[in-house]
Amino acid sequence: EIVLTQSPDTLSLSPGKRATLSCRASQTISSSLAWYQQKHGQPPRLLIYETSNRASGIPARFSGRGSGTEFTLTISGLDPEDFAVYYCQHRSDWPRAITFGQGTRLEI
Amino acid sequence: EAQLEESGGGLVQRGGSLRLSCAASGFTFSSYGMVWVRQAPGKGLDWIASIRGSSSSSIFYADSVKGRFTISRDNARNSLILQMNSLTAEDTAVYFCARLNCGTTNCNYLDPWGQGTLVTVSS
């Protein structure tokens, strides 16, 4: 079973700064890593799929990269609306399980 | 626009059962795999079950719910179902349905998500 570990648990930054969120897999995974943003009381929203592809309507300040076991989500020029919890997610080929990281809280 | 809406949550006693529904609209429901994900209060996201689009024989469960929960779908009614039995306090969570989308390699990301429905199991 693949385990995804996100770091840091909490990231405190100011608007306009750059945020770098990490997601480490317990074993080498394919490029099928996604990132979601969740605000309080709302469902998760897809930001990035397959490591580096922005979902429809997602601003260009969100970018993803990585390979193997190390993946990052970068938010360039934080907007006040970006302060939320971020999750990485992977779906394994076998067993067909979906795994989430524990989340990174991005706060002001 | 693809949309999902869950219903059926509520308060249930320990050991009881509950049936959740997810109504899909704005896309060809039968063409997509679907999943249930839950989130306990103040906690992270936990996948619990998946079902393939055209074949209800391709179903997967998390170990935490295997044998107690059953995922199914009615493609004629554009509906996803989660039957939950033998509920415990640990099943208290918001339950989300989500569509499974296919990328270049496999079907591996979730979008859209429903707003969620709260299930509370009392002891």
List pLDDT tens digits, range B20-45: 999 999 999 999 999 999 999 999 99
User: Which chain B positions have a beta carbon within 8 Å of A53's beta carbon?
Assistant: 103
Q: Tens of pLDDT along A50-108? A: 999 999 999 999 999 999 999 999 999 999 999 999 999 999 877 789 999 999 999 98
Chain A residues within 8 angstroms (CB to CB) of chain B: 30-32, 34, 36, 38, 42-46, 49-50, 53, 55, 87, 89-91, 93, 95-103
* Chain B residue whose CA is closest to A43: B115
User: Per-residue pLDDT for B57 more than 80?
Assistant: no
Close Cβ partners of B72 (under 8 Å, ≥ 6 residues apart): B51, B56, B80, B81, B83
pLDDT score for A102: 98
pLDDT score of B56: 67
Q: Which residue has the tokens 């009881």?
A: B16
pLDDT one-digit tens code per residue, A3-55: 999 999 999 999 999 999 999 999 999 778 999 999 999 999 999 999 999 99
The whole-number pLDDT of residue A30 equals 79
Q: How many CA atoms lie within 13 A of A50 on its CB side?
A: 10
Q: What share of chain B is helix, strand, coil (3-state, %, to 5)?
A: 5, 55, 35
In chain B, which residues touch A (CB < 8 A)? 35, 37, 44-47, 50, 60, 62, 96, 101, 103-116
pLDDT at B55: 65
For the segment B61-79, the average pLDDT, to the nearest whole number, is 96
* pLDDT at position B48: 97
pLDDT band at B107 (very low <50, low <70, confident <90, very high): confident
Chain A hits for B103, Cβ within 8 Å: 32, 49-50, 53
pLDDT-derived band at B105 (thresholds 50, 70, 90) equals confident
What is the reported pLDDT for B20?
A: 98
Q: Helix %, strand %, coil % for chain A, to 5?
A: 5, 50, 50
Q: What is the pLDDT of residue B90?
A: 96
Phi/psi class of residue A27: alpha, beta or left (left: φ > 0; alpha: ψ in -120 to 50)?
beta
Measured at the CA of A29, the angle between CA A24 and CA A35, to 5 degrees, comes to 60
